[in-house]
């Protein structure tokens, strides 16, 4: 097994070459990957079937739960979205080299703020084989190198997808070697978390235990979310049919997703509350009115609910027990909607729509590396923009600071964009 430091060092060297890669080459690589995933999809499904066979044994023995089992399954719909996601990223504008600011400090002294890649990304994820193509496509388009560590439950699928992506990149002669790397062991993860010399950002995709472990064991910046405690508040003016459709979708469309609703708050003056709860039960949603804890992610067709006195009480509950992921208000009152979206402290605040829309693909990002509840750098579904940083370029003609300190020259500070 190759020493992790050597893997990281090679990835760092590749990242420096990626930084100057032109858009056409990156798009060519992405389209080649999409074609290859499509061409070899049967091999991917065969590998996934091996993982699902083993996962079923783990599920039956209680070693994994149903939500992990569900996320591991790669079906035709996921495969279609996975391939289309790569193609969509190829169609997006190149996020690198954008002029974010251009300012004349003085005559002939021009300051520019230019978008650039972060460098090397360390991605640790659980039981989501489609994550590999999402992350690789976003990393390629944003000119970042990436080191991937997937969950052991999906090892066969992960290896096969990685192999197909790597082979596709090898056919693009301009594309740097070692831009995409994969590791497999806990020991390598431990080494990654210590490798601040070469790794610039860690992105965990999994449950709270994984994210908490990562944050507690590294000095490298971490981007991600620990849990998805999403809420829907049904205001007293809500339309019953709309409320039912939205809550059912947010709970049942994919219950194990992090953007699935976990708590339903109902205004006590909403006169269709019983009808709403009955419609949810008809969809085989298990309702819990007095949960042991409100900050719990069920990942199943289970929904905690609570009656609240007012919108203010709903907002207070969400800000106390929520995870800062995605929260929604259903109301016909625009003022209440505005109050909710301004004061709920989450990365996604919605009005009259399902929390399941919290997704990079659905936002038009092509894909996402994850959803961040951080309040620095990137928040919400993290696409291309969240994988860039910036540098300042200053172009002059012999200027020195001493002239400005002594008053021989003055700054003009004229914005040029």
Assess if residue 216 is contained within a domain.
Answer: no
Residue 24 CB partners (closer than 8 Å, separation 6+): none
Task: Give the number of other CB atoms < 10 A from CB of residue 1.
Answer: 9
Task: Give the number of other CB atoms < 10 A from CB of residue 17.
Answer: 16
- Contact of 265 with 228, CB cutoff 8 Å: no
Same domain (yes/no): 189, 245:
no
Phi-psi domain of 41 (left: phi exceeds 0; alpha: psi -120 through 50; beta: other):
alpha
Assess if residue 115 is contained within a domain.
Answer: yes
First to last CA, the chain: 51
Q: How confident is the model at residue 1 (pLDDT cuts 50, 70, 90)?
A: low
pLDDT tens track for 157-214: 999 999 999 999 999 999 999 999 999 999 999 999 999 999 999 999 877 788 888 9
Q: Name the residue with tokens 């390629």.
A: 140
And the tokens for 81?
């979205």
Same domain (yes/no): 185, 243:
no
What percentage of the chain exceeds 90 in pLDDT? 83
- Contact of 137 with 367, CB cutoff 8 Å: yes
Same domain (yes/no): 186, 243:
no
- Contact of 95 with 385, CB cutoff 8 Å: yes
Same domain (yes/no): 258, 172:
no
Assess if residue 365 is contained within a domain.
Answer: no
- Contact of 82 with 37, CB cutoff 8 Å: yes
Q: How confident is the model at residue 325 (pLDDT cuts 50, 70, 90)?
A: very high
Same domain (yes/no): 104, 37:
yes
CA distances from 340 to 68, 230, 316, 344, 394 (A): 32, 14, 10, 6, 43
Same domain (yes/no): 71, 182:
yes
Same domain (yes/no): 126, 246:
no
CA distances from 113 to 55, 264, 393 (A): 49, 44, 6
b/e per residue 223-249 (b: at least 16 CB within 10 A): bbbbbbbbbbbbbbebebeebbebbbb
213 vs 327, higher pLDDT: 327
Assess if residue 250 is contained within a domain.
Answer: yes
Same domain (yes/no): 309, 194:
no
- Contact of 40 with 19, CB cutoff 8 Å: no
The whole domain housing 99 covers 4-206+384-391
Residue 8 CB partners (closer than 8 Å, separation 6+): 120, 147, 192, 195, 197, 198, 199
Q: Name the residue with tokens 């919290």.
A: 358
Domain count, the chain: 2
And the tokens for 310?
């007012």
Q: Residue 120 has what pLDDT?
A: 98
Q: Residue 307 has what pLDDT?
A: 98
Helix (H, G, I), strand (E, B) or coil at 239: coil
- Where residue 162 sits, what CATH number does that domain have? 3.40.605.10
Select from 243, 358, 257, 347 the least CA-distant residue to 298.
Answer: 257
Q: How confident is the model at residue 47 (pLDDT cuts 50, 70, 90)?
A: very high
Same domain (yes/no): 20, 122:
yes
Q: What is the pTM of this model?
A: 0.85
Considering only 125-134, 231-240, 247-256, 336-345, which range has the smallest mean pLDDT?
A: 125-134
pLDDT tens track for 396-414: 999 999 999 999 999 999 9
Helix (H, G, I), strand (E, B) or coil at 348: strand
Same domain (yes/no): 191, 287:
no
**pLDDT above 90 for 377:** no
Same domain (yes/no): 243, 328:
yes
Same domain (yes/no): 142, 28:
yes
């Amino acid at each position: 097994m190759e020493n992790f430091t050597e893997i990281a060092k090679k990835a760092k060297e590749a990242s420096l070459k990626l930084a100057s890669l032109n858009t056409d080459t990156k798009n060519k690589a992405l389209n080649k990957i999409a074609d290859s995933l499509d061409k070899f999809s049967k091999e991917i499904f065969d590998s996934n079937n091996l993982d699902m066979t083993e996962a079923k044994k783990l599920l039956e023995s209680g070693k994994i739960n149903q939500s992990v089992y569900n996320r591991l399954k790669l079906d035709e719909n996921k495969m279609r979205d996975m391939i289309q996601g790569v193609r969509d990223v190829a169609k997006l504008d190149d996020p690198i080299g954008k002029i974010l600011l251009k300012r004349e400090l003085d005559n002939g002294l021009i300051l520019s703020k230019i978008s650039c890649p972060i460098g090397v990304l360390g991605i640790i994820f659980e039981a989501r084989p489609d994550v590999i193509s999402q992350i690789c496509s976003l990393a390629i388009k944003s000119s970042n190198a990436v080191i991937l560590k997937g969950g052991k439950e999906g090892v066969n699928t992960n290896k096969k997808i990685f192999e197909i992506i790597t082979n596709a990149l090898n056919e693009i002669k301009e594309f740097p070697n070692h831009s995409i790397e994969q590791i497999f062991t806990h020991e390598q993860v431990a080494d990654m978390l210590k490798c601040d010399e070469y790794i610039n950002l860690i992105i965990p995709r999994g449950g709270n235990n994984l994210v908490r472990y990562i944050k507690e064991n590294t000095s490298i910046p971490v981007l991600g979310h620990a849990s998805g405690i999403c809420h829907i508040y049904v205001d007293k003016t809500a339309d019953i049919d709309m409320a039912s459709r939205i809550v059912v979708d947010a709970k049942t469309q994919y219950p194990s997703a992090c953007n699935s609703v976990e708590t339903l708050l109902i205004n006590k003056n909403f006169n269709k509350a019983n009808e709403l709860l009955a419609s949810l039960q008809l969809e085989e949603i298990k309702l819990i009115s007095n949960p042991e804890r409100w900050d719990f992610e069920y990942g199943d067709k289970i929904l905690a609910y609570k009656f609240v006195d007012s919108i203010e009480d709903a907002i207070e509950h969400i800000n106390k027990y929520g995870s800062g992921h995605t929260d929604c208000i259903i109301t016909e009152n625009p003022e209440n909607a505005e109050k909710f979206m301004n004061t709920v402290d989450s990365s996604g605040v919605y009005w009259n729509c399902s929390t399941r829309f919290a997704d990079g693909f659905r936002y038009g990002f092509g894909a996402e590396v994850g959803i961040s509840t951080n309040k620095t750098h990137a928040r919400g579904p993290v696409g291309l923009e969240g994988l860039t940083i910036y540098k300042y370029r200053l172009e002059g003609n012999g200027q020195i600071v001493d002239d400005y300190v002594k008053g021989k020259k003055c700054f003009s500070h004229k914005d040029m964009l």
